[in-house]
Amino acid sequence: MESKVISSEYIEPSSPTPAHLRTYNLSMLDQIMVPVFIPIVLFFPPCSNNTANDLHVSKTSKQLKRSISTILTRFYPFAGRAVPDKQYIDCNDAGVHFIVARFPGQRLSDLLKKPDKDLSDQLLPRKVSWDSEMDSQCRILQIKLNYFDCGSVAIAALFWHKVADAVTMVNFLKAWGSANRGSKEGVCPNYISQLLFPHKEELLEKRPPAQLLFNEGKWATKRYVFDSIAISSLKAKSGLENPTRVEAVSTFLWNCFITASLKNGKSASAMAVAANLRGRAHPPFPSDCFGNFISITTASSINRTTGEYKELARKFRDTIKKVDGEYVSSIQGDGGLLGLEKIQSMYAEVPDGADLLSVSSWCRFGGYDIDFGWGKPLWMTTYVHGGSDMETSKYINLVGLMDTRNGHGIEALVTLGETYMPFFDAIEELHDLACVEPSPLDYVHSLE
């Protein structure tokens, strides 16, 4: 798929960042976050009756550049640069790299009928893998605006995870969309993370604790979509009272992973779950808090040939309950490395040699509420390509959960080691319950 780059420039904040905000210290939770880039691609239907002619591309691009410049005055760390030791951001207003490209002869509806695994790679500002730990120019955010002949648009962004979690990323995109529509009601981020979880000089030489548990190797990615009927079935068999969609799907995927783990000769497995601290604190932190507000909690199980779905569901719920108000309070403040030790204690419960499956949910984060004036996205994905025969990654056995467009289903992006995926994907019940690599257009009546 050939593209033509129309422009490549840096968009600076519309107002300079005040001198007293020039240095943005990473919070403790930022410091211990793995230094990867998170891709987000939003696919939008035609935003006018026009095709992607020069006038349409120019007018739309100018408006988007103007609105992102305005929003960067609020989300000013995104326009800065990471320093070499990766422990703070120089908020120097160097700007967000912004690329505009056209794909002549391409219609989005054709591309989404059966999305190629490399589609996101072609739409992103640059190729990215889970091992992309730092941009060569220390940029925090890069964006590419992609136009198709039918008038459809794909907005692709790369965020450095050390600075922002998924909630912050989605909040930024919502605010940008709101500004592009001319609304005055966009999110204004709350920068309290550095007060709640102060920067720790002691962490300068430490590896992120989560990084110690990840598996490394060759990998493959597949996308599984569970509709509301499938999720209701999984809820019914969980044995939990009022199970959530995330509990039901996560437990099922863990159960499938156990099968693949057994086939790879492992006797135990564990699930590491990323928990959003904002709503778990007492009182809750504001939803617009900027930065990383994530803690990891774990649950483990002996690998068995017969499914213990209800037991796994209970373990999943119990481990999430560990991240409560008392826990959040215990990792706050200036207590040196006590907060880190509390976080690391969660990992200590994983048995030696256990296979680890890491799960992160973006459900209910409002990704499909992002609106630049063209309506909600047809599809939102964080797809990273499935790897080649020569590629390895330090981060495998990952599951990312996202809402489907109607808000009732769940799309699971599953990245497993190359010797795990064949056994995982061969599970009959998985194929009975989930659609494998479906077209996003299956859930949209029309692109019109």
Tokens found for residue 423: 């056994």
The region that residue 268 occupies, defined by phi over 0 for left and psi between -120 and 50 for alpha, beta otherwise, is beta
Q: What is the pLDDT of residue 222?
A: 92
Cis amide linkage into residue 283, ω under 30° from 0: yes
Identify each DSSP E strand in 312-409 by its residue range.
355-361, 379-381, 393-396, 398-403
The owner of tokens 């007492």 is 282
The backbone torsions φ and ψ at residue 215, rounded to the nearest 5 degrees and listed phi first, read -90, 155
- 94 and 80 Cβ atoms separated by less than 8 Å: yes
What whole-number distance in Å separates Cα of residue 275 and Cα of residue 27? 17
> Residue 106: pLDDT band by 50, 70, 90 thresholds?
confident
**Among the listed ranges 53-62, 258-267, 314-323, which one has the minimum average pLDDT value?**
53-62
What whole-number distance in Å separates Cα of residue 343 and Cα of residue 341? 5
Amino acid at 84: P
**Among the listed ranges 1-5, 91-95, 166-170, which one has the minimum average pLDDT value?**
1-5
DSSP string of 374-389, one letter each residue: S-S-SEEE-------T
Query: Comparing 93 with 308, which gets the higher pLDDT?
Result: 93
Helix (H, G, I), strand (E, B) or coil at 30: helix
Q: What is the pLDDT of residue 276?
A: 97
Helix (H) or strand (E) holding 339: helix 338-347
> Residue 181: pLDDT band by 50, 70, 90 thresholds?
very high
Active site residue 371: yes
Query: Which of 149, 369, 371, 425 is labelled catalytic?
Result: 371
Active site residue 97: no
What whole-number distance in Å separates Cα of residue 374 and Cα of residue 369? 11
Task: Kindly provide the b/e burial profile for residues 76-92, where b requires at least 16 CB atoms within 10 angstroms of the residue's own CB.
Answer: bbbbbbbeeebbbbebe
> Residue 407: pLDDT band by 50, 70, 90 thresholds?
very high
Residue 214 has pLDDT above 80, yes or no: no
Query: Comparing 277 with 205, which gets the higher pLDDT?
Result: 277
What domains sit in the chain, N to C, each tagged with a CATH number? 4-193 (3.30.559.10), 209-443 (3.30.559.10)
The backbone torsions φ and ψ at residue 160, rounded to the nearest 5 degrees and listed phi first, read -80, 120
| pLDDT one-digit tens code per residue, 12-33 | 999 999 999 999 999 999 998 9
| pLDDT one-digit tens code per residue, 354-406 | 899 999 999 999 999 999 999 999 999 986 655 554 577 777 899 999 999 99
Amino acid at 211: Q
Query: Comparing 263 with 3, which gets the higher pLDDT?
Result: 263
* Mean pLDDT estimate for the chain: 89
Residue 204 has pLDDT above 80, yes or no: no
Q: Please tell me the pTM assigned to this model.
A: 0.94
Q: What is the pLDDT of residue 346?
A: 79
Residue 338 has pLDDT above 80, yes or no: no
Residue 267 has pLDDT above 60, yes or no: yes
| pLDDT one-digit tens code per residue, 33-71 | 988 899 999 999 886 665 667 888 999 999 999 999 999
What whole-number distance in Å separates Cα of residue 64 and Cα of residue 87? 31
Q: Smallest Cα–Cα separation from 162: which of 132, 120, 190?
A: 132
> Residue 190: pLDDT band by 50, 70, 90 thresholds?
very high
What whole-number distance in Å separates Cα of residue 24 and Cα of residue 137? 18
For the chain, the farthest-separated pair of C-alpha atoms sits apart, in whole angstroms, at 62
Q: What is the pLDDT of residue 47?
A: 67
Helix (H) or strand (E) holding 94: none
Query: Comparing 286 with 353, which gets the higher pLDDT?
Result: 286
- 192 and 285 Cβ atoms separated by less than 8 Å: yes
Query: Which of 56, 93, 97, 161 is labelled catalytic?
Result: 161
| pLDDT one-digit tens code per residue, 110-152 | 889 888 767 777 899 988 766 667 888 999 999 999 999 888 9
Residue 447 has pLDDT above 50, yes or no: no
Helix (H, G, I), strand (E, B) or coil at 16: coil
> Residue 231: pLDDT band by 50, 70, 90 thresholds?
very high
Helix 245-263, helix 309-321: angle, nearest 10: 120
> Residue 333: pLDDT band by 50, 70, 90 thresholds?
confident
CA distances from 71 to 155, 162, 180, 422 (A): 16, 20, 10, 45
